[in-house]
Amino acid sequence: MEQTGWLRIGLFYIYLVGCFSAKNKDNDLQHQRSAEEKLMSILFRNYNPSARPVLNATESVQVNIRFLLMRINDLNERSEMMVSTGVIVSEWYDERLAWSPEKHHNVNDFIIEAKNIWKPELTLINGAVSLNQEKYYEEFRAIVNYSGLVHWEPGGVYETTCKIDISYFPFDRQRCNLVIGTWAYYSGKMNLTTDVDKVELSDYQENGEWDLYKSNVIWTSFAFECCPDIKYSKVEFVVYLKRRPAYHVMKIIVPCALLSTLMMFAFWVPPSTSGKIQLGISVVLSFNVFQLSVVDSIPKTSMYYPLIGMYLTTNLTLSTLSVCLTVFVIYADRQQDCLPPLWVKKWIMHYLGRFLCMGAFDFTKNVVYKPMKPKRKKHKNNHMIEMEDLTIDNHQTIENSQTEVKWNNYGRDAMAATVEITSRTALNPKQHKEHKIHVGNDWHRLAAVLDRLFFWMVFTTIILSSAIIFGMPYVNNANEDAD
């Protein structure tokens, strides 16, 4: 029994030594914990991240936000969507996370996972991506200051809607925005504010297609139609973009201008050349093929018709018209049956030719058939036919010959008169050849004047249409800058 007693005493002694050692080890572990860890264990002992960070339930949480834009990834004109990369800088006070640094080894702040604290509900009102998704909780941490100020910067790629106006493409400007608001928290619970008037661009990377030339920030209080008394707040970050036109100018406008030049100089090809009409048709076909090649570069929309589309349509119309005018010129050039009318010689071949710097044309120099003694023949039914016998003179023209024919409504008498006139005015082969040369020269002159006239008409139309089409964007942009 005595041995058993001593054994029990020994076991009890060992137990006391073990308990004392364990307590000392726990104390050592307590002393090994950092001041920051001790502070966090105190602050989050009864912390509920779902509760608003105010001690007075009637107060509203003031959340200040800014937007740091890093890049414009894409601006899709067809889907009217802007894709951007940026960071939403948000700050608010959490009264439950305030402490005195002097009491906690001068710990002024600490970094914590955002999922462990209350965060404001931030939603892209004009986008399909919510900012309160799990990826933001895991990837972005918050900084908590001893005053209770929480600094949180969730960032990512944001897809937002953007109303696109391509009227002045490729010299267009676009206004796109990123609207951040709340759905659950109304202003009485949480109010969004901002202390900046521009989007922060300190880390912005230039886009190859779009130039960001201006930005602003707009705070708005709004209410839904169902509940007009309940106000919500939102902050709109607006960026103004203008397209860099160099690529589209080299790909669309310059080739189109070269085709237009080729179209104009088709009027300088002599009408007698067989390739004149072929050149015009080739230009028309080139415009059609060119339009097919650039159709993917032009945004497709029915609400706005871009100026570049008007420019291409105008040039295609002019090229088609030039082919029609070329056909008319060739037709006039190959006329040899009769002389042009006197008014055509006077007003087109002479006055218009001088105006177009083609020299004067002597429309008064005419070959007159020498009149012979008048002869009068009476045909049956006592219908009279009067005429003057005519002969040719190499120094005069046919135009001043006077032939007066009077006939009745009967076709036989008219045909008889025609046969007699033809027999009296018949020319010998030499005179006939000279007559055809004279007629041909007049028509050649007329064709040349028309060619020059049509050239200047097309040239003037192209210059005016180009000035109007490409001048409108600059006038519009100047008005916007003035506003």
Q: On the CB side of 103, how many CA atoms lie within 13 Å of its CA?
A: 6
Question: Which portions of the chain are predicted below pLDDT 70?
Answer: 1-32, 128-138, 274, 297, 301-302, 333, 335-344, 346-351, 359-441, 482-483
* Alpha carbon distance 332, 379 (integer Å): 40
Q: Are 124 and 88 in contact (CB under 8 A)?
A: no
DSSP string for residues in 222-288: EEETTEEEEEEEEEEEEEEEEE--HHHIIIIIHHHHHHHHHHHHGGGS-TT-THHHHHHHHHHHHHH
Residue 72: per-residue pLDDT: 96
- Tell the burial category of 219 from Cβ atoms under 10 Å away from its Cβ (0-12, 13-18, 19+): middle
Query: CA angle 234-240-242, nearest 5°?
Result: 160
- The 3-state DSSP class for residue 81 equals strand
Residue 378: per-residue pLDDT: 46
Residue 303: per-residue pLDDT: 73
Give pLDDT tens digits for 340-352. 666 667 666 666 7
CATH number of 61-244: 2.70.170.10
Q: Are 139 and 130 in contact (CB under 8 A)?
A: no
Whole-prediction pTM: 0.70
* Alpha carbon distance 301, 251 (integer Å): 21
Residue 133: per-residue pLDDT: 55
Residue 52: per-residue pLDDT: 94
CB atoms within 10 A of CB 297: 13
Residue 15: per-residue pLDDT: 58
Q: CA quadruple 66, 70, 74, 75: dihedral positive or negative? A: positive
Residue 388: per-residue pLDDT: 40
In our burial notation (b when 16+ CB lie closer than 10 A, e otherwise), range 237-250 reads bbbbbbbebeebee
Residue 167: per-residue pLDDT: 86
Across-strand partners of 68? 87, 200
Closest CA to 185 of 39, 329, 360, 52: 52
Across-strand partners of 391? 370
Fill in the DSSP letter of residue 147: T
Fill in the DSSP letter of residue 369: P
Query: CA angle 48-54-59, nearest 5°?
Result: 140
Residue 455: per-residue pLDDT: 85
* Alpha carbon distance 304, 165 (integer Å): 7
Phi-psi region of 406 (alpha: psi -120 to 50; beta: other; left: phi over 0): beta
* Alpha carbon distance 286, 263 (integer Å): 10
In our burial notation (b when 16+ CB lie closer than 10 A, e otherwise), range 11-38 reads eeeeeeeeeeeeeeeeeeeeeeeeeeee
Residue 326: per-residue pLDDT: 81
